[in-house]
Amino acid sequence: MFHWLEKNPFFFAVGVFLVIAFAGLIEILPNFAEASRPVVGLKPYTVLELAGKEVYKKDNCIACHSQLIRPFKSETDRYGQYSLSGEYAYDRPFLWGSKRTGPDLHRVGNYRSTDWHENHMWDPKSVVPQSIMPAYKHMFTNLADIDTAYAEALTVKKVFNTPYDAPNGTKLGTLDEGRAGALEEAKAIAADMKNQEVKDAVAAGKIPEIVALIAYLNRLK
């Protein structure tokens, strides 16, 4: 029945292409409908963490740091468990990066602490003498944009069904509750810091960028 097709190389090639393309589509299409699947126990970012993530983007940490541990022994020995796609389910956008002038930061929360970050961001050479990372002193006075972070959380909740306010999940609530929650979290971080201006600001209800950034870095585990 298809002898004519076998004798006609051009139409045969077109036929082969159509069959393979169709099979390919059948395999690929369902994945588009699939929601990203968070790893078990993953919680959406808190408002303060989101504000810190904004600082990370704004100050272009991604230019020198990746957040993606590859499945090689050299990497898992240094950084820990390699990264899984489900860990980025609430990252919009993800901050994988492609340049490692500095080390990967995807699990930095496991081995660096609030006071270490405080010293390091103020003056990297004070903790790592050979460091070429720039200092970020302005973060100790610039204030974090909590309201925008709240709006971002509310948006991903509405648009992408990110599970805020779920039982045992991250609380979001109203704008006032979001602000209050961020301040409470900021107080816990400022308690582990030594910079008096930062402590005073938080006590007065303001949140410097460094506090939000540290909340974000501590969460990377």
| Residues in contact with ligand HEC by the rule CB under 6 A | 56, 59-61, 63-65, 101-103, 105, 108, 112, 124, 128, 131-134, 136, 213, 217
d(CA 153, CA 138): 26
Q: Which is nearer to ligand HEC, 61 or 146 (CB)?
A: 61
Beta carbon of residue 80, minimum distance to ligand HEC (angstroms, whole number): 11
Cβ proximity to ligand HEC, 41 vs 93, nearer residue:
93
Residue 85 or 101 having the CB closest to ligand HEC: 101
Query: In degrees, to the nearest 5, what angle opens at C-alpha 172 toward C-alphas 169 and 178?
Result: 140
Are 195 and 183 in contact, with CB atoms under 8 Å apart?
no
- Closest approach, Cβ 176 to ligand HEC, in A, equals 29
**Longest alpha-carbon distance in the chain:** 87
Nearest to 152 by CA among 98, 210, 107, 216: 216
Compute the least distance from the CB of residue 49 to ligand HEC, in Å.
Answer: 13
Query: Least separation, in Å, of the C-beta of 54 and ligand HEC?
Result: 11
Quote the least distance from Cβ 62 to ligand HEC, whole Å.
8
Q: Are 11 and 5 in contact (CB under 8 A)?
A: yes
By the 8 A CB rule, do 79 and 104 touch? yes
Peptide bond into 44 cis (omega under 30): no
Given the complex with ligand HEC, which of 172 and 217 has the nearer CB atom?
Answer: 217
Query: Based on CB atoms, which residue is closest to ligand HEC, 23 or 132?
Result: 132
